[in-house]
A and B are shown apart, each in its own frame.
Chain A
Amino acid sequence: MKLSVRNCVWDGEEIEMTDNNGTRMTPNVTQLTPAEEDPIVDRWLTSLPELSPGDGFEDAVMARVWVPVPHWVQSVQNMTRALLDRKRVWVWAGGLAASSAASIAVIVALVVSHWVQIETAWSLLAGSFLLEVWRLGVTLIGQTLATAIAFREVWGLTGTMTLFAGLAGAVVSASSAWGLYRILMGFNAERISFHASR
């Protein structure tokens, strides 16, 4: 009987085979593939449809599984715990808190005890600031007026024409400001929708 391993139905350890050279051989079942051992049964069983559990199986499993805390979080937790366990850390933290509290107390005491001086100094500072703002405003208006008068003299404009030119300038400035505002708002809206779509 000549059988090749491929078309042989292995039947336990009861049969013996000869290869193409006539050498007797006993099949080593642990080295054959299931299809080589029994092609018919293998065809039946491998023809069975692959079954899969219903949708949401993975999530249902994961809902009941405890996932450990990531390694780096564990390390940070361990370090923090180790630090908190040390007496010296508590001494340092206590000292820092006490010195901060003391500093704040000293500042509050100084403010309360020297309230009048502080208030005066503040008024002076605020007063000089407002004065500077006033000076700046006056200078700007003065320079604008001077420029307008110079233009009027150079171009020989009448009073009415100067008034219209002023109004036109105001309209152009307002339109420019409005245009700038629209452009900026549009740009922001684009950015928002860009982030939302990502």
Chain B
Amino acid sequence: MNMVNIKINNKDVKVAKGTSILNAAKEVGITIPNLCYHPDQEVKANCRVCVVEVEGARTLQASCATEVKEGMVIRTNTQKVRQSRKVVIELLLANHDMDCTSCKKNNQCDLQEIAANIGVRESRFENVLVKQEIDTSSSSIERNPNKCIRCGRCIQMCSEVQGLAILDYVGRGGSVDVKPAFGMYLNNAACVACGQCSVVCPVAAITEKEDIEQVWEAINNPNITVVVQTAPAVRVSLGEEFGLEPGKIVTGKLVASLRALGFDKIFDTDFTADLTIIEEGHELLKRLSDGGTLPMLTSCCPGWVNFIEQYYPELLPHLSSCKSPQQMFGALVKGYYAEKIGKKPKDVYSVSIMPCTAKKFEAKREEMSVDGENLDVDIVLTTRELAKMLRQAGVDFTILEEEEYDTPFGLSSGAGVIFGATGGVMEAALRTVYEVVTGKTLENLDFMAVRGLEGIKEAKVDLDGTIVKVAVAHSLSKAKQIMELIKEGKADYSFIEIMCCPGGCIGGGGQPFGGTDELRIKRTNAIYEADKGLPIRKSHENPAVSELYKEFLIEPLGEKSHHLLHTKYVNRKK
């Protein structure tokens, strides 16, 4: 590697050519505060918090945007730098709703943290905030313009990664805002509620719609049985909220913490992930043998379902009719489990813990009610909201003893776990489809070709002579590419897995704030590690699933399945 010699605060340092001053300083243990910079995004250099002194330069330089050069002399803590940083932060605070103590992101806000770190106690400038309406129109995310610092991270996420460009800068000068076209409400814009904007927002301008209080009420109502399901990706990210190392698998603590909060039954969405594989696998085989619409597209991701309904409704026949694991779970809770425990559906409160904001919208779709009266999933909480509940209840997550899920929906296979990462649904399906079709035992369970963070992945699988071509895409800009291929008739795949968020659910819009590719990789590795550690790694070998078919569902794609586990879609083109 080409190295250059530089001096940072009088210390000689050797760093790789092309490194930004910001990252070079990080390598030698100096954190330069920054707000608009995001390691996975194009450099914006607009917040001007990260300025440093570079010898010979007329002005201070944004360290995020300036590459090191041989012989460069950098100072990160001079009076000039300290003063500029302070003024910049004070300027931001002077156009910011300063209700920090009651803010949703109190103690989780980058602006607040930097202000504290660099010693800003109050802004010396007059507060000029013109209060605007908070957009609560979406059932998934909330946009509070009074908190926005115009850093543009959400804009880049929405346009570059998701290819949607719902948000952009509007106006200029002091009146610049970040909002949807015409200032419309999010629920009128073609937003898919993925919540990726909220993950990258450094302040509380975009957050999840908070639904914690309803859950507390249910837990504290003695007449109601509160059932909770936990999505696969939550177990590899929740620990981060409590200072545990990213990528730590905290399944047992997760279960224990939910019990500590007072949930009556703690189940695993992985169970219905296994169920999804059985139903979806058979749907695929049916389409293959009956000449059904191909390629078949997965349907477990609600952000993605919103996307195809809004942007490519003409391709809806490709979408699997299977409900997502969350909604299959909800349907089983209200349409099977309630009766089993001698309760009416309305007396069983169904909560799900999801890495996702779009799941909140999905749960509210009117067709997601098996009795037509009660929602199958009453409330969806994100990983972040669960962490908040635990803090509210004073549960010390780090010292909890590990506990086990309840029966009957607590048992799952490794195939169910990997649903949480891009390629996981595909891999889980292939493990089952292979054995169902060939009748042989699959020797190597790891389909490496569909794993990893590459945007679009392809694989060919030999099903005893029949070659099946599959593809996997994550993030909606990549989904768009696949949709265009299908429209042009160039997608010669049988089965395509699409997840809306970068990295899949482990990178979901409800995951801890500040997600980066670095974190996504750690969480992904943890997911596959969890898979490897399980005794059962194929969905069709999950005995609890077999039991459910035997006792209740009878057969995949059967009448009960049709009623409880499959759904229809709507053209929502805007």
Do A and B originate from a single complex? no
